[in-house]
């Protein structure tokens, strides 16, 4: 069963980018998993906007690193760091305790950082467990679930040219993802569908953000999103989103009481050779002379 449809985010997000918002001073939210560049940037932004933040990390080894990184943003002691194993229900509930909202994204475990069919199983089970924990936590009013455009764009549209356009109602085809080993798309599709099914069954208010390739400091040619990049480029759906824009989009849909369903989030589409070459130069190391992927 598909969630309610919502329009894509295509215009600049209406969020105050620099000022402190005193109306958020009593709000406590959880960011999970807070170990990645996107999620840690989201933590910093929420702190600057006045939120109290529970930064929940799946990778326990990064606990001290994250605390040291965010120390300058924690002058008012609004940051609390938790260990939250997605397969340890007690740790999830502990991290969510007292929170009115959850920003959830998945980072592959450090001992299995590449995407494959096993990653899809792990990510799907993690999404199920986290949403179940939310259902048992009576303070969580809203969940912002980070998904991906790869959960939208992979289907057999080439067999039906009239269905070439994509919007938030589309889902990637699981069998096609398995056939062509599009593991990132498979993981995001299965995890998001699982989250939606549980959210609707448990009455959880949830919004998903299906983002393009996130252009942050850690993006490289090995990013699993780029599996099938040539086909995405050919189909006109190779899209990217700046890290700051992506962070603000998450906060926007959380703070907007009227937000619902799925949102496609991007602020650039790579649809010409010049853009493709520019992206390739950004992804490849300066000394790499190999042929660009697009």
Confidence (pLDDT) at 218: 78
Residue 141 in this model has a pLDDT that exceeds 80: yes
Confidence (pLDDT) at 15: 42
More confident residue, 152 or 68: 152
293 and 229 Cβ atoms separated by less than 8 Å: yes
Confidence (pLDDT) at 113: 60
| Number of Cβ within a 10 Å radius of residue 222 | 10
Residue 5 in this model has a pLDDT that exceeds 80: no
Residue 35 in this model has a pLDDT that exceeds 70: yes
3 state SS of 9 = strand
More confident residue, 36 or 223: 223
Q: Top-level CATH class of 28-156+168-212+241-265?
A: alpha beta
Residue range 254-269, pLDDT digits in tens: 999 999 999 999 999 9
Confidence (pLDDT) at 7: 45
53 and 29 Cβ atoms separated by less than 8 Å: yes
Among residues 153, 281, 290, 150, the alpha carbon closest in space to that of 220 is found at 281
Confidence (pLDDT) at 165: 79
DSSP 8-state assignment for residue 259 = -
Instruction: Record the pTM.
Output: 0.87
Confidence (pLDDT) at 91: 95
The verdict on whether omega for the bond into residue 221 sits within 30 degrees of 0, i.e. cis, is: no
Confidence (pLDDT) at 166: 84
More confident residue, 166 or 274: 274
Q: Span 224-242, mean pLDDT? A: 93
Residue whose structure tokens are 């953000």: 209
Catalytic hit among 27, 62, 142, 188:
188
Q: Span 233-253, mean pLDDT? A: 95
Residue range 49-78, pLDDT digits in tens: 999 999 999 865 555 566 666 666 665 678
Confidence (pLDDT) at 13: 44
Q: How far apart are CA 41 and CA 243, in angstroms?
A: 8
Confidence (pLDDT) at 108: 76
The CA angle 94-97-100, to the nearest 5 degrees, is 145
Q: How far is CA 248 from CA 85, 100, 208, 225, 294, in A?
A: 26, 18, 14, 21, 29
Residue 8 in this model has a pLDDT that exceeds 50: no
Mean pLDDT across the chain: 85
| Number of Cβ within a 10 Å radius of residue 191 | 28
Q: Span 150-154, mean pLDDT? A: 96
- Where do the domains of the chain lie? 28-156+168-212+241-265
3 state SS of 27 = coil
Residue 12 in this model has a pLDDT that exceeds 50: no
Is 78 marked active-site? Answer: no
Residue whose structure tokens are 């660009």: 292
Among residues 93, 96, 110, 105, the alpha carbon closest in space to that of 59 is found at 110
Q: How far apart are CA 250 and CA 193, in angstroms?
A: 19
Among residues 161, 146, 99, the alpha carbon closest in space to that of 241 is found at 146
Res. 156 pLDDT band, cuts 50 70 90: confident
Helix axis angle for 37-48 and 243-255, nearest 10°, is 50
Confidence (pLDDT) at 47: 92
Q: How far is CA 207 from CA 61, 236, 278, in A?
A: 30, 25, 32
């Amino acid at each position: 069963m598909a969630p309610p449809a919502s329009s894509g985010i295509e215009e600049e997000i209406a969020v105050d980018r620099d000022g402190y918002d005193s109306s958020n001073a009593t709000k406590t939210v959880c960011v999970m998993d807070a170990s990645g560049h996107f999620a840690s940037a989201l933590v910093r932004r929420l702190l600057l906007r006045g939120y109290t933040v529970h930064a929940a990390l799946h990778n326990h080894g990064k606990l001290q690193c994250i605390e040291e990184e965010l120390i300058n943003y924690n002058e008012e002691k609004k940051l609390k760091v938790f260990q939250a194993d997605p397969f340890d229900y007690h740790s999830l509930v502990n991290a969510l305790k007292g929170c009115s909202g959850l920003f959830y994204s998945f980072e592959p475990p450090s001992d299995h950082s590449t995407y494959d069919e096993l990653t899809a199983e792990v990510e799907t089970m993690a999404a199920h467990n986290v949403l179940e924990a939310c259902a048992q936590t009576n303070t969580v009013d809203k969940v912002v679930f980070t998904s991906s455009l790869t959960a939208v764009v992979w289907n057999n549209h080439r067999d039906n040219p009239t269905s070439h356009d994509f919007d938030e109602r589309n889902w990637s085809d699981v069998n096609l993802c398995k056939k062509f080993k599009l593991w990132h798309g498979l993981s995001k599709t299965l995890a998001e569908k699982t989250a939606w099914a549980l959210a609707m069954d448990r009455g959880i208010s949830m919004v998903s953000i299906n983002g393009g390739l996130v252009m942050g400091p850690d993006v490289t040619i090995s990013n699993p999103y780029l599996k099938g990049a040539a086909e995405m480029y050919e189909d006109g759906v190779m899209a990217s989103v700046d890290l700051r824009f992506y962070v603000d989009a998450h906060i926007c849909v959380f703070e907007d009481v009227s937000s619902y369903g799925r949102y496609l989030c991007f602020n650039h589409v790579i649809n010409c050779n010049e853009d493709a070459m520019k992206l390739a130069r950004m992804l490849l190391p300066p000394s790499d002379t190999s042929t660009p992927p697009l």
